[in-house]
A and B are shown apart, each in its own frame.
Chain A
Amino acid sequence: MGKHSVRISAYKELFAKILFAVSASAAILAVGLICVFLFMQGLPAMWDIGILDFLTGTDWRPTWNPPRFGILPMIVGSLYVTAGAILFGVPIGIFAAIFMAEVCPMPVYKVLKPAINLLAGIPSVVYGYFGMVVLVPFVRTNFGGSGASILTASILLGIMILPTIISISESALRAVPRELYEGAVALGASHERAVFWVVLPAAKSGVMAAIILGIGRAVGETMAVRMVAGNQAVLRMPYEFLSGTRTLTANVILELGYAADEHRAALIATGVVLFVFIMLINALFSLLKKKDGA
């Protein structure tokens, strides 16, 4: 190799390194842009409406003169459907995860594992459609009301967060050192006792992380909720679970297409509130993950 080609390959190395480093900065750039644009357009709107009026106002009337932009009904709506999803999804998900990690015979596992992965891969619009044609009529005939309700959205979201909760809890359970289980059994505990009193508590933070990720998914879910929740921007009480509600996500998707000026800015501000919620949830998630040492 001549001196010349050595220099060329040195340039090549440098060029590649720079190219790779620039690519790695893309994620930083993307997050930066998303934050800057959402906050730059959302915060002034919040300021104009009045931060307190915006967050605690109970009227969302973009067409009134003067218009009213209060998103409390949507914040509460998001809370309701998320709480409902936890109610349905978390207990079933955790027990199912225990089954997958500790009880399941191998042949059954080989069928169930890919099936749960498939459940995670079904598009939310298909879930939403299923909710529309199956769950909404089901709730209407069995519980009354129009069927498009907090309850319906909760059930659907509960189903949608199941695969997340099952998969992550399962790996958390599997990550528990086998010695703990064996020790418990050696001390005379039955299989169930060892699993529920020793392995499950040891996997606590991993299971919590799974729940939090499920919550994040429920809060951020848009299409499915929009298709089954009824979308009335009305502040509901918890006992009105058969009435419709509107979530933060639904508020954006319903009106962004035609909104203008102040109305559009208020929708962007709704997105900012949603973004902040999700960031808090994610921060909690990575905190727990760190605690788990994973």
Chain B
Amino acid sequence: MREKTNFFKSLKFKRRKPLDFMLFALTWLCIGITAAVMLFILVYILSNGIPYITPSLFAFEFTMENQSLFPALVGTLMIVGLSLALAVPLGVFSAIYLQEYARRGSRFVKIVRITTETLAGIPSIVYGLFGFLFFGGVLGWGLSLVSGTFTVSIMILPLIMRTTEESLKAVPDTFREGSFGLGAGRLRTVIRIVLPSAIPGILAGIILAIGRIVGETAAIIFTLGNVARIPDSLFDTGRTLSAHMYQLAREGTHPGEAHATAAVLLIVVILINALSSRIAKLIKAS
């Protein structure tokens, strides 16, 4: 960060040359627009939604009269839990391989990096299309919890891999050398020394991934489906909060519930964000 000591002095607009002043004012204007839009979205969604958050919104059963978001909430938790169970070990193991085992710059590593970047750039609708065709169609799982889980797991894999790699990279080499010096093998060094120091970073990645899953809609409705029920098996369909939100907005017959669901979704995202920045601060402090 550049010195800001002259900040209050810099507010004396008249001293500036006209062009300088214009550019300076433009940066203030643009950040002002950004902040105003953001504040407006947050305040609008929350103030319109919170009055509609009632106990009946969390009723166990979804009916036509009472569009409860409870099944969607449970569905979201299921998808989040299952996808993390699948993608976190896979992502962490991949990152360990890339960072701790593979020769730097080997062809395999290069290919993995390119494909991971590719995965990170694919839009969610393409994931939805693929999941629909492959997990739903070719493997015959239809619209189900497994189809949704596998699709979403692929989506969050690059995120987990990248954050884990970053935190493994941040572990000083002296830790590894010390461990090797005491006679530990590579596996033991990774599990007992490197991984524990990298856990906060991995956790931050996992929380980002949760945010991504919670916000996902396009990929969900073609794989998990969009039926307001709690899936009773891995091969049963359901919905997530975002998909529920989409359905309410599309039908437009329950504006109160739609407002409330948008607010709930936003609150969840705010909590996830707060948690991840708390962890990021912890990492910085250590």
Chain A residues within 8 Å of B, Cβ to Cβ? 9, 12-13, 16-17, 19-21, 23-28, 30-31, 33-34, 37-38, 41, 91-96, 98-100, 102-106, 112, 114-119, 121-130, 132-134, 159, 162, 166, 178, 181, 190-193, 195-196, 216, 219-223, 227, 249, 252-253, 256-257, 267-268, 271, 274-275, 278-279, 281-282, 285-286
Given contacts A117-B277, A123-B215, A130-B41, whether A221 and B133 have CB atoms under 8 Å apart is no
Assuming A13-B185, A91-B30, is B214 touching A123 (CB within 8 A)? yes
With contacts A27-B115, A123-B265, A268-B133 taken as known, whether A220 is within 8 angstroms of B123 at the C-beta atoms is yes
Q: Chain A's nearest CB lies how many Å from the CB of B222?
A: 6
Instruction: State whether B133 touches A41 (Cβ < 8 A).
Output: yes
Q: Is the interface of B mostly helix, strand, loop or mixed?
A: helix
- Inter-subunit contact A129/B121 (CB<8 Å): no
Question: Given A24-B93, A119-B38, A223-B218, does the pair A34, B158 have CB atoms closer than 8 Å?
Answer: no
B125 touches A274 (CB 8 A): yes
Q: How far in angstroms is the closest Cβ of chain B from A280?
A: 11
Given contacts A31-B115, A121-B272, A126-B266, A95 and B38 within 8 Å (CB-CB):
no
What residues on B are CB-neighbors of A103 within 8 Å? 24, 27-28
Chain A facing B: main interface SS: helix
Q: Is A27's CB under 8 angstroms from B161's CB?
A: yes
Whether B273 is near chain A, meaning CB under 8 Å from some CB there, is: yes
Q: How far is the CA of A227 from the CA of B206 in the complex (A)?
A: 29
Q: Find chain B residues with CB under 8 A from A222 CB.
A: 123-125, 217-218
What is the interface of chain B, defined by CB distance below 8 A to chain A?
A: 1-2, 4, 6-7, 10, 16-17, 19-20, 23-24, 26-31, 33-35, 37-38, 41-42, 44-45, 48, 89-91, 93-94, 96-98, 100-102, 108, 111-112, 115-119, 121-130, 132-134, 138, 154, 157-158, 161, 185-187, 190, 211, 214-218, 221-222, 242, 245-246, 249-250, 258, 262, 265-266, 269-270, 272-273, 277
- A23-B123 contact, Cβ under 8 Å, with A30-B157, A268-B133: no
* A38-B123 CB under 8 A given contacts A114-B277, A162-B34, A191-B10: no
Set A30, A121, A129: member contacting B215, Cβ < 8 A: A121
Question: Given A126-B262, A275-B122, are A24 and B30 also a contact pair (CB < 8 Å)?
Answer: no
Given known contacts A99-B27, A252-B129, is B134 in contact with A31 (CB within 8 Å)?
A: no
Q: When the two chains form their complex, are residues B249 and A125 in contact, meaning their CB atoms are under 8 A apart? A: yes
Q: With A30-B154, A278-B126, A282-B121 in contact, do A99 and B30 touch (Cβ < 8 Å)?
A: yes
Given contact pairs A13-B186, A191-B10, A159 touches B23 in the complex (Cβ within 8 A): no
Q: Which residues from B are CB-within-8-Å of A26?
A: 90, 94, 157
Contact at A126–B265, with CB atoms within 8 Å? yes
Q: A99-B30, A106-B1 are in contact. Are A256 and B214 (CB under 8 A)?
A: no
- In the assembled complex, the Cα of A195 lies from the Cα of B19 at a distance in Å of 13
CA distance A276 to B62 in the complex (A): 40
Pick from A17, A25, A128, A257: contact of B101, CB below 8 A: A17
Q: Which 6 residue pairs spanning A and B have beta carbons closest together?
A: A220-B123, A123-B215, A23-B93, A95-B30, A20-B97, A99-B27
Return chain B residues, CB-CB under 8 Å to A106: 1, 4
Chain B residues with Cβ under 8 A from A219's Cβ?
A: 123
Query: CB within 8 A of B44: which of A118, A134, A166, A191?
Result: A134
Whether B124 lies near A118 (C-beta < 8 A) is: no
The answer to whether B266 touches A282, judged by C-beta atoms less than 8 angstroms apart, is no
Which one of B2, B130, B157, B242 lies within 8 Å of A27 (CB-CB)?
B157
- CB neighbours (8 Å) of A159 from chain B are 37, 41
User: Complex Cα distance A249/B129, Å?
Assistant: 10
Chain A residues contacting B1 (CB-CB under 8 Å) are 106
Contacts of A30 in B (CB 8 A): 115, 119, 154, 157
| Distance, CA A94 to CA B249, complexed state (A) | 33
Distance between A175 CB and nearest chain B CB, rounded to angstroms = 13
Least distance between A46 CB and chain B CB atoms (Å): 15
